[in-house]
């Protein structure tokens, strides 16, 4: 009896010691033994700047009015709001004192130099796939070419005991893959480069992959069927990037994907919602080869097995009947004719690649109507391509249409021209109207991504 | 790019995404068409493309290549447009006049499509904004045109 008690005690002690070790250890870095080297070469700095574009660091680590990379952007988590940090090389308030190994631990392992764990709002489960070369170049860029900014980090609004960070070490054990991207020999070079960019620095899954109950992305690569299968975040539905014909990229060619990421638009649509930021700050700066590799990789992802969608095809009846629908007071038809048709067309086809179609686009076909509602309420952000702002932009209809009018017109558009999206209710519109009103007490702030 | 405007073909040097309104006003000097909101909300920039009322501020020129564009300058060459202008004069519709070329375009396009529009048809088609509030006069003129014997 005494002996078994001792055994149990022993197991507990060893277990606790192991757990404490996991919770407090600093993960090893491949740069631990690397001594600080001299001034970085121009090539290395250019490479680092490019990696910063790929990883779109600026999107979260900068506020709209703030200095680049000085942090301070508020992000929502289920536990309370957190703020992005200053990643400029200021020694006091930024990362100026970080060694390459410290930097690597933060980027790829989610551990800051003082040992505290980062929240996975920082996409280190994706960044850990980044190569040593890319991390090294990124470090050189941040240390040499980013302007130091003195700006203290803001404390998170998560309260004790939930603000303890050590449990994240266990989250990391369960929900990260562990390791740099390993090329698949069965695939060609282009596929591997695309997979690296999408899974690693590009962290596409942060928005496009659904998350589990503890905010973990349900898959981190193509081995999981839910990888990039679409998710709602920040009041937008980031659609599936798999090959489903209606809710995914099934009807897009590799050239279409390339054009979308390069120019922000193609015949299927124009970037809107959070994707505007990804385009403005990141994808348009990628090389043609990288963009084509991304397209190549995405087109290799199969449609969801349970997808029973019949591929959308255009039905001209709506365009022919619009005047009759207006006369017959079909709900939404008059609002469509007076507010939407001048740009998107009575035929729903938009105007070339400049004004997107509503016929056959995923926001009009997905069961999730968030993106359609949000863009109608709040309009679209400025798309800046090659330094030139777009000539045409969706205006906000927040003050113009009631919840019911907006629900009706979206229901009309989501069932017109062969579209098969579900009806939109006034309640759904009212909810998002409140969540996206800056004056509201329950406004949506950036979630993890 | 070649654009056919008021039955005349113009060779226009502009990018495909240039709004038609800019080309009409700035390149061709046809300033009867007005810039209002630039967002397809007000209708001041209305022209007709193949007889259908179109807001030129949100119309990239590469989407109207090869189609017939009619602006207010040529509206009286259209028999329906001519009658609309006559009624506009008879009812003394305009006040400041800024929105009126768009209003005339909207009325002409309506009456070309529907000879005897109902109240509902008129309400659905005449959605251009007017800061002076000439809506009652517009309504009276269009109602008169809508009831014309033998159609407008």
Mean pLDDT of the B123-130 span: 94
pLDDT value, residue B149: 55
Confidence band for A447, pLDDT divided at 50, 70 and 90: low
SS3 B93: coil
- Pick A189-298's CATH classification: 2.60.40, 1.10.760, 1.10.10, 2.60.120: 1.10.760
Inter-chain touch B54–A343, beta carbons under 8 Å: no
Q: Is the pLDDT of residue A409 over 90?
A: yes
Q: Is the pLDDT of residue A354 over 50?
A: yes
Mean pLDDT of the A223-233 span: 95
- Give the DSSP H/E element, type plus range, for residue B68: strand B68-70
Q: Is the pLDDT of residue A13 over 90?
A: no
- Give the DSSP H/E element, type plus range, for residue B49: strand B46-49
Confidence band for A36, pLDDT divided at 50, 70 and 90: confident
- Chain A residues at the B interface, defined by Cβ less than 8 Å, are 323, 326-327, 329, 334, 337-339, 342-343, 351-352, 354-355, 391-393, 395
Q: Is the pLDDT of residue A137 over 90?
A: yes
pLDDT value, residue A446: 63
pLDDT value, residue B152: 43
Confidence band for A101, pLDDT divided at 50, 70 and 90: very high
Residue A344 is assigned to a ligand binding site: yes
Inter-chain touch A323–B113, beta carbons under 8 Å: yes
- Within 8 A of B54 by CB-CB distance, chain A residues are 342
- CA angle A75/A80/A81 to nearest 5° reads 25
Mean pLDDT of the A91-110 span: 96
Backbone angles phi, psi at A7, to 5 degrees: -60, -45
Chain A: nearest CA to B76, how far in angstroms?
Answer: 24
- What are the structural domains, with CATH classification, of chain B? 2-74 (3.10.20.30), 75-146 (1.10.150.120)
Chain B: nearest CA to A343, how far in angstroms?
Answer: 6
pLDDT value, residue A445: 66
- Write the CA distances from A190 to A197, A252, A257, A292, integer angstroms: 11, 18, 15, 8
Number of A–B residue contacts, CB under 8 Å: 49
Confidence band for A44, pLDDT divided at 50, 70 and 90: very high
Mean pLDDT of the B63-68 span: 96
Inter-chain touch B16–A338, beta carbons under 8 Å: no
Q: CB distance from B15 to chain A under 8 Å?
A: no
Cβ-in-10-Å burial (0-12, 13-18, 19+) of A430 comes to middle
Note the CATH architecture for domain A317-435. Orthogonal Bundle (1.10)
- Nearest by CB to residue B40, choosing from A326, A334, A343, is A343
- Nearest by CB to residue B41, choosing from A391, A392, A395, is A395
- Nearest by CB to residue B58, choosing from A326, A329, A343, is A343
Tokens linked to A348? 């729903």
Residue A109 is assigned to a ligand binding site: no
Report the alpha-carbon distance of residue B149 to residue A434 in Å, rounded: 52
Cβ-in-10-Å burial (0-12, 13-18, 19+) of A97 comes to exposed
Q: Is the pLDDT of residue B119 over 80?
A: yes
């Amino acid at each position: 009896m005494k002996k078994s008690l001792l055994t149990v005690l022993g197991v507990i002690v060893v277990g606790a010691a192991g757990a404490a070790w996991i919770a407090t250890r600093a993960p090893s870095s491949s740069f631990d033994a690397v001594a600080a080297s001299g001034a970085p070469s121009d090539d290395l700095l250019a490479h680092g700047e490019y990696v910063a574009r790929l990883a779109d660091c600026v999107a979260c680590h900068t506020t709209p009015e703030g200095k680049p990379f000085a942090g301070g952007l508020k992000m929502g988590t289920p536990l309370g709001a957190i703020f992005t940090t200053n990643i400029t090389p200021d020694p006091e308030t930024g990362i100026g004192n970080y060694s390459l190994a410290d930097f690597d631990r933060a980027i790829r392992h989610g551990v800051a130099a003082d040992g505290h764990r980062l929240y996975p709002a920082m996409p280190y489960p994706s960044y850990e796939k980044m190569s040593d070369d890319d991390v090294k170049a990124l470090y050189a860029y941040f240390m040499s070419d980013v302007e130091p900014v003195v700006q203290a980090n803001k404390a998170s609004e998560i309260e004790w005991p939930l603000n303890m960070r050590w449990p994240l070490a266990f989250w990391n054990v369960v929900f990260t893959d562990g390791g740099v991207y390993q090329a698949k020999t069965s695939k060609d070079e282009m596929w591997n480069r695309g997979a690296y960019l999408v899974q690693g620095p590009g962290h596409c899954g942060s928005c496009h992959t659904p998350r589990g109950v503890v905010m973990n992305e349900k898959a981190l690569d193509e081995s999981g069927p839910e990888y990039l299968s679409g998710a709602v975040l920040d009041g937008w539905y980031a659609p599936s990037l798999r090959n489903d014909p209606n809710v995914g990229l099934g009807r897009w060619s590799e050239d279409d994907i390339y054009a979308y990421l390069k120019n922000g638009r193609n015949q299927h649509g124009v970037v809107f919602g959070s994707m505007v930021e990804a385009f403005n700050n990141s994808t348009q700066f990628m090389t043609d080869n990288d963009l084509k590799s991304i397209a190549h990789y995405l087109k290799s992802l199969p449609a969801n097995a349970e997808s029973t969608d019949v591929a959308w095809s255009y039905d001209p009846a709506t365009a022919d009947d619009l005047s009759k629908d207006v006369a017959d007071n079909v709900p939404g038809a008059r609002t469509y004719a007076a507010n939407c048709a001048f740009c998107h067309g009575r035929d729903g086809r938009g105007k070339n690649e400049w004004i997107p179609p509503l016929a056959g686009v995923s926001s009009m076909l997905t069961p999730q109507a968030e993106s359609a509602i949000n863009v109608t309420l709040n309009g679209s952000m400025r798309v800046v391509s090659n330094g030139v702002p777009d000539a045409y932009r969706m205006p906000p209809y927040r003050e113009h249409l009631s919840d019911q009018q907006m629900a009706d017109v979206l229901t009309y558009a989501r069932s017109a021209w062969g579209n098969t999206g579900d009806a939109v209710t006034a309640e759904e519109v009212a909810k998002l109207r409140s969540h996206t009103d800056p004056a509201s007490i329950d406004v949506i702030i950036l979630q993890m991504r | 790019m070649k654009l056919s405007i008021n039955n005349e073909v113009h060779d226009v040097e502009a990018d495909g995404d240039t709004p038609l309104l800019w080309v009409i006003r700035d390149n061709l000097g046809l300033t009867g068409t007005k810039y209002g909101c630039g967002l397809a909300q007000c209708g001041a920039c209305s022209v007709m493309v193949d007889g259908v009322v179109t807001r030129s501020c949100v119309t990239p020129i590469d989407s109207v290549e090869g189609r017939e564009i009619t602006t207010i300058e040529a509206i009286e060459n259209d028999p329906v447009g001519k009658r609309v202008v006559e009624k506009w004069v008879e009812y003394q519709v305009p006040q400041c006049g800024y929105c009126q070329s768009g209003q005339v375009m909207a009325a002409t396009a309506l009456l070309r499509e529907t000879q005897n529009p109902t109240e509902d048809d008129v309400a659905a088609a005449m959605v251009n904004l007017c800061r002076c509030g000439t809506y009652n006069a517009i309504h009276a003129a269009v109602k008169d045109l809508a009831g014309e014997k033998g159609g407008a």
